[in-house]
C-alpha cells in the first residue's frame, strides 16, 4: 500500500466552491473536422448525468453485500473512461459532505444530523469530470467505519476493500490531527494485504510488492475543526460557520483531488469505463459475498471475458450492418464485394481491438475472424444467387422468341439447324452485351447452351438439307463451342478465386498490422505502469534514506529489485504470448491460403484438361 504521502499541506479539510472551471477543448468556428465532431457527439452520448446519487452496493436481508441493479444499469451506459474517487473513514466525520463538494453541490449524498451513522453501504454519483473533457467522475461515498453497533465485524473491512478496489483515488477522511490515534485507525489499510490478492496463483506468496502497481492514489483529508458557532461575534449555524471558515480550503481540496486523480485502470493498464466499473463491482461483491478473497488477477480475467465477448459482438455488428447495406445492390462484381469486405473487416477488427483486452491466446480475435469469414462466404453466396437470377431472367427473356419458334416447329424444316444456330448466336451476343450480370454470367450461359444443345441435336438430326458428313462436322463444331464456353466459365471462376486470395492476403496484412499496434499499446501500458510503480517506490526509498531510516530504506531497495524482477518477467511473458498469437494468426492465414491454392490447382488442372480436349477435338475436325 502506498504511504499516505499525498496529504497536502493545503488539504486539511475539503470542500469546494460551486464554480468548477471546466476545461473547454473545442475549437472555435468550423475548424473542427467533421469526423472528430461526430466522435464528440458519440462520446457525449456515452455518458449519463445523474442529478442525485444512487445506492450502489447494499446489504441484503441475509446481511450479504450486493450490487444494486439500478446502479449497474446507469454504469452500463457510461462508455467514457472513469475517474473514481471514493471516500472512506470513521463514521460521522463528514465524508458525505465532502463528496457533495466534489460533485460541486451542497446536497446530494445524504448528510446525517444526529450522531448515528447515516450512510449505509456504498453510494454512487456520476458527474461529468469538471476538468477532463470526455471523462466521467464517479464519486463513491461509503458507510462510516468503526460503528460499534454494527453486527458483522468483517463488514467494515469489506466496505474498505471495495472502496480500494473500485477507486482510482481513495480519500481517507478523518477528524482531528494526524497523531498516533489516527494512524491506529488506519488499521484497515494494514489488513488489506490479507483481504485482497493480486494473483490467483501462489496462494501463500506475499504479493504486497505488487500492490503498489494497482492501488489507488491515497489522499488523507484531515478535518481539523473546532466548532465555535460565531461569525464576527454573531451566532451562526454549524454549516454557516464551517462554510465561512473553510471557504478557501474547499477550492484547494477539490483542485488537489481532481489534479491527483487519474482514470481508473485495471491491472495491465486497461482503461476502466463506467460499464467496466459495473462489471468490476459485481465481480468483487460476488466474490466477497461468497466468502472468498477478491483477487485482482481473477477480476481482470473475468472482465476480459465479458469485454472480449462483447468486443466480438461489436465487431460483427460493424461488419454485418455494412454488408447488409451492400447486399441491397447485389449482384456486384466480386472485386466490389471483396473490397467492401476488406474495409469492413478492418473497421470491425478496429472496433474489436478498441474494446478487447487481454485476449491472451488471441482466441476472441480468431473467433471474430472466423465469424466474419463465415458471413463473407454467406454474402458471396447471396451475390452469386442474385447474379444467377439476373442472368437466368435475362436469358429467358432473350430466348423467348426462339422458344416460341421451337414450339411452333419453325426449325423443323430443311435449313432449320442453321437458323437455330444463328438465333442462338444472336442470343449469346445480346446476352454478352448486357451489363450488370456479374459473377455468374459465364456459368449461366454455359448452362443455357448445354440445355439448348438437346434441342439443337434434334434439329440437326432432322435437318434434311445437310448431308451426314456435314452433320458430323456441325456436331463437332457445336461441341467445341460448348467446350469453349465451359473453359471460359472455369477461367472466370479461377480469376475470381485469385481475387479472393488477394483479398485474403491484404486482409491478413491489415489484421497483423492492427494486432501489432494493439500489442505495442498494451506493452507500452504495462511498461508505463511498472515505471510508475518503480518511481513511487524509489521516491519512498529516497525519502526513507533522507529521514535516516536506513534499515527500512534497505528493505525498500530489496522490494524495488523484486518488483523490477517480476515486472521484467511479466513483460517477457507478455512478449512471448504476443509472439505466439501472431504466429497462430499467421498459421491460420497460411492454412486458408493453402486451401485456396489447392482449389486453384484443381481448377487449373480442369482447365488444362478441357483445353487438351478442345485441341484434340479440333484435330478430329
Ligand atoms: N459546514 C460543514 N458541515 C460539515 C462538514 N463536514 C461535515 N459536516 C456536517 O457534519 C454532519 C455529518 O456529516 P456527514 O457528511 O453526514 O458525515 P459522514 O462521515 O458521511 O457520516 P456517516 O455517513 O454517518 O459515516 C452533517 O450534518 C454535515 O452537515 C463541513 O466541512 N462543513
Ligand atoms: Mg455519510
**Residue that wins the pLDDT comparison between 21 and 515:** 515
CB of 609 shorter than 6 A to ligand 1 = no
Ligand at shortest distance from the CA of 115: 1
Closest atom of ligand 1 relative to the 117 alpha carbon: 24
CA of 102 to the centre of ligand 1 (A): 14
- The answer to whether 331 touches 386, Cβ cutoff 8 Å, is yes
Q: Which residues contact 607 (CB under 8 A, 6 or more apart)?
A: 487, 490, 491, 494
CB of 474 shorter than 6 A to ligand 1 = no
CB of 53 shorter than 6 A to ligand 1 = no
What order of strands is seen across the sheet that includes strand 54-59?
A: 65-67, 54-59, 122-128, 136-142, 82-89, 169-175, 217-223
Ligand at shortest distance from the CA of 93: 1
Task: Supply the residue whose CA is at minimum distance from atom 8 of ligand 1.
Answer: 94
Band the pLDDT of 40: cuts 50, 70, 90: very low
Please indicate, yes or no, whether the overall pTM of this predicted structure exceeds 0.85.
no
What is the Cα–Cα distance from 316 to 348, expressed in whole angstroms?
6
The structural architecture, per CATH, of the domain 45-297 is 3-Layer(aba) Sandwich (3.40)
**Residue that wins the pLDDT comparison between 325 and 35:** 325
Q: Which residues contact 281 (CB under 8 A, 6 or more apart)?
A: 56, 57, 67, 72, 75, 162, 166
CB of 147 shorter than 6 A to ligand 1 = no
Ligand at shortest distance from the CA of 100: 1
Which cell goes with 563?
Answer: 518488483
Mutational test site, ligand 1, from 11, 13, 111, 140, max ligand atoms within 8 Å of CB:
111
Which cell goes with 9?
Answer: 499541506
Q: Mean of the per-residue pLDDT values for the chain? A: 83
CA of 99 to the centre of ligand 1 (A): 10
- Convert the pLDDT of each residue in 508-538 to its tens digit: 999 899 999 989 988 998 888 888 888 888 9
Spatial CA neighbour of 56 closest among 221, 229, 285: 285
CB of 118 shorter than 6 A to ligand 1 = yes
Closest atom of ligand 1 relative to the 13 alpha carbon: 31
Backbone angles phi, psi at 17, to 5 degrees: -80, 170
**Residue that wins the pLDDT comparison between 380 and 360:** 380
What is the Cα–Cα distance from 550 to 559, expressed in whole angstroms?
14
- The answer to whether 137 touches 260, Cβ cutoff 8 Å, is no
What pLDDT is attached to residue 139? 97
- Convert the pLDDT of each residue in 550-598 to its tens digit: 888 898 888 889 888 988 998 899 899 899 989 988 998 999 999 999 9
Pick the most confident of 5-19, 140-154, 259-273, 304-318.
304-318
CA of 12 to the centre of ligand 2 (A): 18
Task: Supply the residue whose CA is at minimum distance from atom 30 of ligand 1.
Answer: 242
Band the pLDDT of 619: cuts 50, 70, 90: very low
What pLDDT is attached to residue 297? 83
What is the Cα–Cα distance from 119 to 113, expressed in whole angstroms?
11
CA of 300 to the centre of ligand 1 (A): 36
% of the chain exceeding 70 in pLDDT: 83
Band the pLDDT of 336: cuts 50, 70, 90: very high
Task: Supply the residue whose CA is at minimum distance from atom 7 of ligand 1.
Answer: 94
Q: Which residues contact 504 (CB under 8 A, 6 or more apart)?
A: 589, 592, 593, 596
Amino acid at each position: 500500500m502506498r504511504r499516505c504521502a499525498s496529504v497536502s499541506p493545503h488539504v486539511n479539510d475539503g470542500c469546494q466552491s460551486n464554480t468548477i472551471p471546466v476545461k473547454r477543448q473545442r475549437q472555435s468556428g468550423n475548424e473542427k473536422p467533421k469526423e472528430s465532431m461526430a466522435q464528440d457527439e458519440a462520446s457525449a452520448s456515452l455518458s449519463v448525468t445523474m442529478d442525485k446519487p444512487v445506492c450502489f452496493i447494499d446489504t441484503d436481508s441475509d446481511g450479504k453485500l450486493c450490487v444494486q441493479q439500478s446502479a449497474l444499469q446507469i454504469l452500463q451506459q457510461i462508455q467514457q473512461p472513469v475517474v473514481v474517487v471514493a471516500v472512506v473513514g470513521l463514521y460521522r466525520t463528514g465524508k458525505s459532505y465532502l463528496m457533495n463538494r466534489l460533485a460541486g453541490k451542497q446536497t446530494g449524498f445524504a448528510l446525517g444530523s444526529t450522531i448515528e451513522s447515516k450512510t449505509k453501504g456504498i453510494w454512487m454519483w456520476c458527474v461529468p469530470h469538471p476538468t477532463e473533457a470526455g471523462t466521467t467522475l464517479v464519486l463513491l461515498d461509503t458507510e462510516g467505519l468503526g460503528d460499534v453497533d454494527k453486527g458483522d465485524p468483517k463488514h467494515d473491512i469489506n466496505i474498505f476493500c471495495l472502496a480500494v478496489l473500485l477507486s482510482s483515488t481513495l480519500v481517507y477522511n478523518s477528524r482531528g490531527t494526524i497523531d498516533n490515534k489516527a494512524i491506529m485507525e488506519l488499521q484497515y489499510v494494514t489488513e488489506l494485504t490479507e483481504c485482497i490478492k493480486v494473483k490467483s496463483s501462489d496462494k501463500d506468496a506475499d504479493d504486497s510488492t505488487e500492490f503498489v502497481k494497482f492501488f489507488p492514489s491515497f489522499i488523507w483529508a484531515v478535518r481539523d475543526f473546532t466548532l465555535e458557532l460565531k461569525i464576527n461575534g454573531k451566532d451562526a449555524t454549524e454549516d454557516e460557520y464551517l462554510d465561512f471558515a473553510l471557504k478557501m480550503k474547499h477550492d484547494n481540496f477539490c483542485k488537489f483531488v481532481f489534479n491527483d486523480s487519474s482514470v481508473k485502470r485495471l491491472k495491465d493498464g486497461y482503461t476502466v469505463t463506467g460499464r467496466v466499473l459495473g462489471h468490476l463491482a459485481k465481480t468483487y461483491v460476488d466474490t466477497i459475498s461468497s466468502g472468498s478473497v477478491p483477487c485482482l488477477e481473477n477480476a481482470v480475467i473475468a472482465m476480459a471475458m465479458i469485454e472480449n465477448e462483447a468486443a466480438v459482438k461489436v465487431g460483427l455488428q460493424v461488419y454485418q450492418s455494412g454488408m447488409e447495406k451492400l447486399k441491397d445492390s447485389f449482384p456486384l462484381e466480386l472485386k466490389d464485394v471483396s473490397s467492401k469486405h476488406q474495409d469492413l473487416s478492418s473497421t470491425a477488427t478496429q472496433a474489436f481491438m478498441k474494446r478487447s483486452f487481454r485476449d491472451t491466446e488471441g482466441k476472441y480475435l480468431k473467433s471474430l475472424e472466423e465469424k466474419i469469414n463465415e458471413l463473407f462466404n454467406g454474402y458471396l453466396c447471396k451475390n452469386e444467387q442474385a447474379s444467377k437470377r439476373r442472368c437466368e431472367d435475362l436469358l429467358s427473356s432473350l430466348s423467348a422468341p426462339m422458344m416460341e419458334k421451337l414450339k411452333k416447329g419453325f426449325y423443323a424444316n430443311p435449313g432449320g439447324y442453321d437458323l437455330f444456330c444463328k438465333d442462338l448466336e444472336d442470343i449469346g451476343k445480346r446476352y454478352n452485351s448486357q451489363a450488370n450480370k456479374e459473377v455468374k454470367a459465364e456459368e449461366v450461359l454455359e448452362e443455357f447452351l448445354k440445355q439448348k444443345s438437346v434441342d439443337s441435336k434434334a434439329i440437326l438430326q432432322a435437318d434434311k438439307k445437310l448431308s451426314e458428313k456435314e452433320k458430323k462436322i456441325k456436331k463437332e463444331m457445336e461441341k467445341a463451342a460448348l467446350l469453349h464456353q465451359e473453359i471460359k466459365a472455369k477461367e472466370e471462376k479461377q480469376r475470381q478465386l485469385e481475387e479472393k486470395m488477394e483479398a485474403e492476403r491484404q486482409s491478413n496484412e491489415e489484421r497483423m498490422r492492427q494486432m501489432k499496434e494493439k500489442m505495442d499499446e498494451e506493452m507500452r501500458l504495462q511498461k508505463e505502469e511498472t515505471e510508475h510503480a518503480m518511481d513511487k517506490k524509489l521516491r519512498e526509498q529516497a525519502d526513507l534514506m533522507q529521514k535516516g531510516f536506513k534499515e527500512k530504506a534497505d528493505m525498500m531497495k530489496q522490494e524495488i529489485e523484486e518488483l523490477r524482477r517480476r515486472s521484467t518477467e511479466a513483460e517477457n511473458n507478455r512478449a512471448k504470448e504476443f509472439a505466439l498469437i501472431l504466429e497462430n494468426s499467421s498459421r491460420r492465414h497460411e492454412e486458408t491460403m493453402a486451401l485456396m491454392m489447392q482449389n486453384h490447382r484443381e481448377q487449373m488442372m480442369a482447365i488444362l484438361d478441357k483445353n487438351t480436349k478442345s485441341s484434340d477435338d479440333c484435330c478430329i475436325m
